[in-house]
Amino acid sequence: MGERTEVRFEVNGREVAVKTWPMGRLLDVLRTEVGLTGTKEGCGEGECGACSVLVDGVLVNACLVPVVQVAGCSVQTVEGLAEDAAVEPLRQAFVRANGAQCGICTPGMLMATVALLREEARPSDARIREALGGNLCRCTGYVRIVQAVREAAAEMAGARADAEVEG
Amino acid sequence: MRAHVPSYEVETPSGLADALTRLSEHGAALRPLAGGTDLMVLLEAGHLPPGRFLNIWGLRELRGVTVSDDAVTLGALTTYADVLAHPVLAAELPMLGLAARETGAAAIQNRGTVGGNIVNASPAADTPPALLAYGAEVELASVRGTRRVPYAAFHRGYKQMDRAPDELLTAVHLPRHAAPGWVHCYRKVGTRKAQSISKVCFAGAARLQGDLIAEVRIGLGSVAPVPLRCPATEAVLTGRRLSDATLAHAARAAILTEATPIDDIRSTREYRAEVTGNLLEQFLRVLAGGA
């Protein structure tokens, strides 16, 4: 029998310390200990991407990360995006393009998109599809999701270019 | 059925030396845990035996790609994403990137490791066929020292490996393939493009001199209890000319003596055998195109 250990890490810029089982899934800790339920559980085996979050800026499936492995790390969840003005065009684009239907996949889609756009500001449709390849939408709204990402990328890249001109 | 999470203990070593000391003291009772992309799936499904785990994910010295004049070394904790980002791998050992790109999707590629893929020992894993085709060696470390094993000899049977309980797989060494004339052919056949587990996986690398096959290595996945190197097929092909009309037939016959596919949830013996032969012929066509 193991023991509960204290694991300290950052969630959306806020320090948290949870006393938990080391092999507990980051997904469960976020939802039940930290109280952030925006991160969803779909398959629980890394196939669907509903639980996608960023750990130190890197996209991961929170269902496959034992919480002991995020000690000292910075975790960003979909709730963290709500506080990030730079991501506003992405949310708006999902609404405008009807990129969300039932909504269960949407937090994961948003996190995977944020990871993609940080790496590549103006991805091709093929690259968008590859980057979202680990995120399943069972309403099968992929065309609208890709459209939303494409529009958001254009707008965010344009905003950055404007900021550079002004700056 | 879900696992009972309190039944799992995790210890995190301070470095590689500490990890090896802990393994020497506890051996098989201590199971290495890297990126978690396989173990955590088993955990959630209730199939991971309770016990103690050695959390090696943070051992930075085991992560990364180093290039010397004649070899490329992948630390065991090098992720698929690291593989995809490395220019020498892309230029000289491109099948590793192709395998990495077809292993899960981005979130898996960010956590799954080359070493983990090897010691998880699934015959359906995507990188082992490429490692076999590139003549890889694996490095194992323990408090007793380090040793290298040709990767083709590492898997001894289904989930059986040439690894002692106190040893940690620390690196994979690959000869560079910078010489002119190398042609590479990797193909994974699954039910869909993203996120699938292979029905058959083929990796072939050959060095051509004109239309002569000077050197060739072939690795297969999902058609045997282990990732399979194909020496008999390689022997049929070596020294032969691609213009030889009898070559494809002879090679196909040879590879079907080496592959021993079975029926399982993902495919059938018959389909896998047919596709294995087809992938070999595709390899020969790719070589003919590169000659």
Interface of B with A in 169-208 (CB under 8 A): 193-195
Cβ distance B44 to A44 less than 8 Å, yes or no, reads yes
- A3, A60, A130 ranked by CB distance to B107: nearest: A60
Do residues A7 and A18 lie in contact, with contact meaning Cβ atoms separated by under 8 Å? Answer: yes
Q: How many C-beta neighbours within 10 Å does residue A23 have? A: 26
At B92, the amino acid letter reads: E
Q: Name the average pLDDT for chain B.
A: 95
Quick check: A52 and B107 CB within 8 A?
yes
Q: Is A1's CB within 8 Å of B37's CB? A: no
Q: Does residue B196 have a pLDDT over 80?
A: no
Distance from the Cα of A98 to chain B's closest Cα (Å) equals 24
- Contact predicate B240/B216, CB 8 Å: no
Cβ of A63 and B40 within 8 Å? yes
Spatial distance between the Cα atoms of A60 and A53, rounded to a whole number of angstroms: 6
Q: Which residue of A has its CA nearest to B52?
A: A2
Tell me the C-alpha distance between B103 and B117, whole Å: 10
Band of pLDDT at residue B16, cut at 50, 70 and 90: very high
Residues 131-150 of A with CB under 8 A from B: 131, 133-135
Q: What is the mean pLDDT of residues B71-91?
A: 97
Burial A93-110 (b: 16+ CB within 10 A, else e): bbeebebbeeebbbbbbb
Using an 8 Å CB-CB cutoff, list chain B residues near A130. 105-106, 194
pTM (predicted TM-score): 0.94
CB of B253 within 8 Å of a chain A CB? The answer is: no
Mean pLDDT value of segment A42-52: 96
pLDDT the model gives residue A71: 97
Q: Are strands B182-189 and B155-157 parallel, antiparallel or unpaired?
A: unpaired
Provide the pLDDT for residue A3.
80
Chain A hits for B58, CB-CB cut-off 8 Å, are 69
Q: How many CB pairs under 8 A join A and B?
A: 98
Query: Which residue is closest to A41 within chain B, CA to CA?
Result: B44
Mean pLDDT, rounded, of chain A:
94
Residue of A nearest to B34 (CA): A69
Question: Average pLDDT of B110-128?
Answer: 95
Residues A77, A39 contacting (CB under 8 angstroms)? yes
Summarised one tens digit per residue, pLDDT across range A16-38 is 999 999 999 999 999 999 999 99
Structure confidence at residue B158 (pLDDT): 95
pLDDT beyond 80 at A160: no
A126 close to B (CB below 8 A): no
Does B265 lie at the interface with A, CB-CB under 8 angstroms? no
The mean pLDDT of A105-123, rounded to a whole number, is 97
| Span of B61-65, B176-180, B249-253, B286-290 with lowest mean pLDDT | B286-290
Q: Is the Cβ of B5 closer than 8 Å to some Cβ of chain A?
A: yes
Angstrom distance (rounded) from CA B283 to CA B184: 8
DSSP string, chain B: ----GGGEEEE--SSHHHHHHHHHHHGGGEEEESS-TTHHHHHHTT-SPPEEEEE-TT-GGG-SEEE-SSEEEEETT-BHHHHHH-HHHHHH-HHHHHHHHTSS-HHHHTT-BHHHHHHTT-TT-SHHHHHHHTT-EEEEEETTEEEEEEGGGTEEETTEES--TT-EEEEEEEE---STTEEEEEEEE-SSSSSPPPSEEEEEEEEEETTEEEEEEEEEESSSSS-EE-HHHHHHHTT-BTT-TTHHHHHHHHHHHH------SS--HHHHHHHHHHHHHHHHHHHHHH-
* Cβ contact, residue pair A66, B194, below 8 Å: no
Subunit contact A134:B107, Cβ cutoff 8 A: yes
Label residue B197 by pLDDT band (50, 70, 90): confident
pLDDT, tens digit (0-9, with 9 covering 90-100), for B131-170: 999 999 999 999 999 999 999 999 999 999 999 999 999 9
pLDDT band at B1 (very low <50, low <70, confident <90, very high): low
% chain A with pLDDT above 70? 98
User: Measured between CB atoms, does B59 come within 8 Å of chain A?
Assistant: no
A 50-69: CB under 8 A from B: 52, 58-61, 63-66, 68-69
pLDDT at B152: 97
CB contact under 8 A, B37 and A64: yes
At residue A1 the predicted structure's pLDDT band, cuts being 50, 70 and 90, is: low
Q: Is it the case that residue B291 has pLDDT exceeding 70?
A: no
Mutate to test the interface with A, among B2, B5, B30, B57 (most CBs of A within 10 A): B5
B194 and A133 within 8 Å at the Cβ level: the answer is yes
Is residue A10 classed as helix, strand or coil in its secondary structure?
Answer: strand
B9 in contact with chain A, both atoms CB, cutoff 8 A:
yes
Q: Is the pLDDT of residue B195 over 90?
A: no
Q: What does the pLDDT average to over B39-44?
A: 94
Confidence grade of residue B2 (pLDDT, cut at 50, 70, 90): confident
Predicted pLDDT of residue B27:
86
Task: Give the C-alpha separation, A39 to A44, whole Å.
Answer: 12
The pLDDT score that the predictor gives to residue A158 is 85
**Residue numbers in A near B37 (CB within 8 A):** 46, 64
